[in-house]
Amino acid sequence: MKSYHKELWFEVPTRRAFINITPQVEQCLAESGIKEGLLLCNAMHITASVFINDDESGLHHDYEVWLEKLAPHEPVSQYRHNTYEDNADAHMKRQVMGREVVVAVTGGKLHFGTWERIFYGEFDGRRKKRVLVKIIGE
């Protein structure tokens, strides 16, 4: 069995964003040489997320609106966590959107449903953060 890992780095200039990272993850898979196995992709920061869904701008807008209703950024005074930072909402948004995804690798490709893509969700941007890609298989 082979094992591969790589860290992808992102520096989002805005507080929040959804970035399709499927091409970078597919590049990792190609570099690994693994044809059959499992790929784990996870955010290495507690205010960011990795998730799978459709790459459709309306859906991303709906996520933004929905997440802001669930955990509004302001007023920042509503959160006990905001004693030295103003990112309590980002922690909650990450909890809802998830930390990681696992994708089957079949024939050297990500074994996706028709519209599935991997996204990096940023909820407290404006600094460098990383995503781990770990692939095991043959």
Model confidence pLDDT, tens digit, residues 62-112: 999 999 999 999 999 999 998 888 999 999 999 999 999 999 999 999 999
Q: State the pLDDT confidence band at 7, using cuts at 50, 70 and 90.
A: very high
User: Helix (H, G, I), strand (E, B), or coil: what is residue 2?
Assistant: strand
Element (H, E) at 68: helix 57-70
pTM here? 0.96
Q: Look up tokens 């941007």; give the residue.
A: 125
- Domain of 63 in residue numbering reads as 2-137
- What order do you get walking across the sheet with 100-106 strand by strand? 2-11, 128-137, 37-43, 100-106, 109-110
Please report, for the domain that includes residue 93, its CATH number. 2.60.120.460
The tally of domains found in the chain comes to: 1
Hey, what are 127's tokens?
């600094």
